Chain A
Amino acid sequence: MTPLSQLLPGQYGKLVSLSPERAVDQRLMALGLLPGMVLKLVRRAPLGDPIAVEFGGQTVSLRMAEAESLWVDVAADCPIQKPKSTL
């Protein structure tokens, strides 16, 4: 398990756990980021922070400090979601 913020740009990961008591994680869950979901760190901002993360067919900007509670299993190069789960 690695924190999401340590993925390399372009790398995929499968969300293992988040901290539901944090406001950020609540917002992300409302956006559909739930354990088991595959996500991709698309890129870092030019100054290194925040990061752009893609999941469920949307791209979202997250601050590193706010993303630290998201833990992922690095998936070697898993294509982001089959059409069915893209829904």
Chain B
Amino acid sequence: MSSLRHLPMVALVGNPNTGKSTLFNALTGLRQRVGNYPGVTVARKSGQCDCGEGVKVELIDLPGLYSLSAASPDEQIVIDVLSGHVAQERRPEAIVVVADATNLLRNLFIASQLAELGLPMAIVLNQADVAEKQGLKIDTDLLSKRLGGIPVVLTSAWKGEGISQVRKAIATVLKQKTLMTQMVWPVELKEAFGKIAEKVQTDTRQTPLVASLQRLLFDTAPNAAERLHWPIHQREGVIREARDQVRRAGYNPLAAEPLIHYAHLRKILDGVVSGGLARALRSAAVDRILLHRVAGPFIFTSIMLGLFASVFWLAKFPMEWIQAGVDALKGVAAPALVQYPMLQSLIADGVIAGVGAFLVFLPQILILFFFIGILEDSGYMARAAFIMDRLFSWCGLNGKSFVPLLSGFACAIPGLLSTRTIEDPKARLATAFAVPFMSCSARFPVYALMCAAFIGPLYGPGWESIVMVGMHLIGLLFAVPTAFVLTRFVLRIRPQPFVLELPRYQLPKPRDVLWRMWQNAAEFISKAGTVIFAITIIVWALCYFPQNTQLADKIRAENPTLSANEVQLRAQAAGIEQSWMGRFGKAVQPIFDPCGFDWKITVGVLASFPAREVIVSTLGITYSIGQDAEADSQDLRQAMQQAKWTEGERVGKPIFSLAAVLALMVFFALCSQCGPTIATLAQESGGWKWAAASFFYMTFLAWVMAVIVYQVVIRLT
């Protein structure tokens, strides 16, 4: 939000799940993602906060973190923002630490670390409602005094209590620059910091922050040194020496920081908190059922089946309405433009179809995120991950990969969007890579057409179902080894330990859930929507140009007995044959020849790269049935059953042999034929690199497997 740049910037920082985003919404009036899951906030969220007395600030909501030692990229962003290392971003003028009042000790660890940054600070103790219920009493005045007089405010962001005090506290911090009292380090450690500081200064000519010195001394990751551009050969010796000194003082250098901070904080909190024994008893009781060895998986399966059924079936109705709306719109637009055939086709098959192409995903996205919101805010999502982790950990994914993969069976788009709930960047990317392999509902018409036209009639309904199930599993079969190889050998991202807080159960707030649902949909429309629209227009153009307006006349002249409808269907078929797409299909048919695809199938395969279900209508056009052909069209089945090779060594043989049919299905099961998926993958992985990698990998794999299937089966039959 560039319009806020003239205002002083204040950052909300704290552990995951403390209520930062909720507080942020309450302070700015802007609403944003609210999750019951550690680490959901990744994007920069900012808003204007009016603090009274004419003070206005730009407030930013930073990702949650437990420590400054920057294990993950999310955590690194927080540190970079707070030390002013982010390009195009100002260094905040003050920090508001949001702490969970029910677990002050742990929540103040990050505050204690942040104090070393030397930024003015206030502390918000949130979730006061829960603390009260647990019988905890917190002496905020005493805490404030012990921390050097910084404002300490007790709030319940959820109930909207204490928000005005937070505003006042922000104004105070900015005016009085209140600093949290820094911890007194043992002298040996101070000396160690000093040694490093000296060397940094001579080597890099920078005066480092005390906080950076601590990162250099305590962290195993080299991030801090990289920020200072301090090369390894210069720093190695100094840091080792400094660590030896810490060791001589009786501390393990890698454990010294939390040990000393926590000892310090225990003293600070002595007498500040009293009462409170009833903690989390209710959650433990609920866990006894929901995580029970037998009941747990059973309940989990029911919940997930419910989720899947909703995404799959509930979304069906609005999707049909959208489809009907799109068709109705076409029905209105097409006759109105009948004098201008090109414009007519552009509007009807390009623009309207393009808008429909991404609108159609909205119901599934909205429904999935509605359920994810409930699962997260209630606290169940972490339990779901706990139950499922074992099944995923061996291939580099984790328990949180389950929901995205399951959603992928309905549609890859919501599946990809839901990978956001995975904190570990490595597992997140690997899951996103695996999701498009899941057999989405758009593959179904292809399997249905092939099975009904060929497998069923030739081998009976038994084999038809077996093939159908097989096709739904084949993607999974390839996705798992892909994830394994990816996480083991390809991705150079440091994996995060799977340490997952099991938060307390809580009733979700409908307002929060609905808002989050809407935010995800809005982001999808604005980012992926435009790409999907563009792809539809491009494919339309490829299938439309160059257009020969005399085709229909020529066909009518050659076959005077044909009805007007027949003429039009044949003209369409001839039209696509000589379009760029048709010519391209014929040109690249040799590539698909080893899979047993003729040029018509090839054109169908190519035309369905933006959306795989398009193959059915494309085959409809090329077989002169018309583009409205559906998977259960008898005419289309017949036309395909009768199709024969007209040239080459297979002349006279049926094109759709068992081998070709199976090859075609395997190809569709594995190929990356979905523009929206690619666009969304690019959006979620932060660039086109992984989207392109996924596209080429899946497509190549699909081709190889189709060739293998065709060549093997043709020899066996």
Task: Assess A61 versus B71: contact at CB under 8 Å? Given A49-B390, A50-B386.
Answer: no
| CB < 8 Å neighbour of B254 from A21, A34, A50, A58 | A21
Determine if B502 and A87 form an interchain contact, defined as CB atoms under 8 angstroms apart.
no
Task: List residues of chain A with CB within 8 A of the CB of B391.
Answer: 47
Residue among B220, B386, B496 facing the most chain A CB atoms (10 A cut-off): B386
Q: Determine whether the beta carbon of A62 is less than 8 Å from that of B291.
A: no
Cα–Cα, bound, A87→B272 (Å):
9
Are A87 and B269 CB-contacts (below 8 A) given A20-B255, A58-B501, A60-B500? yes
B259 x A62 contact (CB < 8 A): no
Partner of A61, one of B104, B275, B276, B500: B500
**A20 contacts which chain B residues (CB < 8 A)?**
252, 254-255
Q: Does A23 contact B (CB under 8 A)?
A: yes
Asked if A52 and B497 sit within 8 Å, CB to CB, the answer is no
Name the B residues within 8 Å of A18 (CB-CB).
255
Contact: A50 with B105, CB < 8 Å? no
Q: How far is the CA of A47 from the CA of B109 in the complex (A)?
A: 34
Interface size for A (C-beta < 8 A) is 36
* Interface 0/1 of A12-23, CB less than 8 Å to B: 000000101111
**Contact of B102 with A45 in the complex, beta carbons under 8 Å:** no
In B369-406, the 8 Å CB interface with A consists of: 382, 385-387, 389-391, 393
Does B425 sit at the interface, judged by CB under 8 A? no
From the candidates B274, B296, B297, B498, name the one contacting A66 in the complex (CB within 8 A): B498
Give Cα A52–Cα B287 distance, bound, in whole angstroms: 11
Contact in complex: A32, B109 (CB < 8 Å): yes
With A and B bound together, what is the CA distance between A46 and B388 in angstroms? 9
- Name the interface residues of A7-38: CB closer than 8 Å to any CB of B: 18, 20-24, 26-32, 34
Interface membership of B103, Cβ < 8 A? yes
- B105: nearest residue on chain A (CB-CB)? A87
Does B66 interact with chain A (Cβ within 8 Å)?
yes
Task: Establish whether residues A52 and B291, one from each chain, have CB atoms under 8 Å apart when the complex forms.
Answer: yes
Which residues of B, 61-76, contact A by the 8 Å Cβ criterion?
Answer: 66-67, 69, 71
- In the assembled complex, the Cα of A45 lies from the Cα of B386 at a distance in Å of 6
B258 in the interface (beta carbon within 8 A): yes
Q: Considering residues A43, A46, A60, which has the most beta carbons from chain B within 10 angstroms of its beta carbon? A: A46
Whether A45 pairs with B389 at a CB distance below 8 angstroms is yes
Cross-interface CB contact of B280 among A28, A34, A48, A57, cutoff 8 Å: A57
B389 touches A59 (CB 8 A): no
Docked Cα-Cα span, A56 to B499, in Å, equals 15
Our pick among A24, A57, A61 for the contact of B102 (Cβ within 8 Å) is A57
Q: For the side of the interface on B, what is the size category?
A: 35 or more
Known contacts being A20-B254, A32-B109, is A50 close to B498, with CB within 8 Å?
yes
CA A6 to CA B273, docked complex, whole Å: 34
Contact of A27 with B500 in the complex, beta carbons under 8 Å:
no
CB < 8 Å neighbour of B393 from A22, A28, A63 = A63
A30 to B254, CA, bound (A): 11
CB distance from A45 to the nearest CB of B (A): 5
Kindly state whether residue B44 has any CB partner on chain A within 8 Å: no
Q: How far is the CB of A30 from chain B (nearest CB, A)?
A: 4
* B478 interfacial by beta-carbon distance below 8 Å: no
Set A23, A47, A52: member contacting B496, Cβ < 8 A: A23
Contact of A52 among B67, B252, B386 (CB under 8 A): B386
Find chain B residues with CB under 8 A from A48 CB. 390
Is B277's beta carbon under 8 Å from chain A?
Answer: yes
Q: Is the CB of A29 within 8 A of B280?
A: no
Evaluate contact between A34 and B259: CB separation under 8 angstroms.
yes
Q: Are B69 and A26 in contact (CB under 8 A)?
A: yes
With both beta carbons as reference points, the residue of chain B lying nearest to A51 in the complex is identified as B386
> Is B264's beta carbon under 8 Å from chain A?
no
In the complex, which of the residues A23, A56, A85 contacts B103, with contact meaning CB atoms closer than 8 Å? A56
Q: Whole-angstrom distance from the CB of A17 to the nearest CB of chain B?
A: 10
**A61 and B498 in contact, given A21-B254, A43-B287 (Cβ under 8 angstroms):** yes
Q: Which residues of A contact B105 (CB under 8 A)?
A: 32, 56, 87
Distance between Cα atoms of A49 and B102 in the complex (Å): 28
Are B502's CB and A61's CB within 8 A? yes
Contact A66 B502 (CB under 8 A): no
B residues near A63, Cβ cutoff 8 Å: 389, 393, 497-498
Contact B258 A87 (CB under 8 A): no
17 residue pairs of the A-B complex, CB under 8 angstroms, read: A22-B497, A23-B220, A28-B499, A30-B66, A32-B258, A45-B390, A46-B387, A52-B291, A56-B105, A56-B106, A57-B103, A61-B389, A61-B501, A83-B275, A86-B279, A87-B105, A87-B273
Binding site for A on B (CB under 8 A): 66-67, 69, 71, 102-106, 109, 220, 252, 254-255, 258-259, 262, 266, 269, 273-277, 279-280, 283-284, 287, 291-294, 296-297, 382, 385-387, 389-391, 393, 494, 496-502
Which A residues form the contact surface with B (CB < 8 A)?
18, 20-24, 26-32, 34, 42-43, 45-50, 52, 56-63, 66, 83, 85-87
What 10 A-B pairs are tightest by C-beta distance, nearest first?
Answer: A30-B67, A20-B254, A24-B497, A47-B390, A20-B255, A29-B258, A61-B500, A59-B502, A87-B105, A30-B66
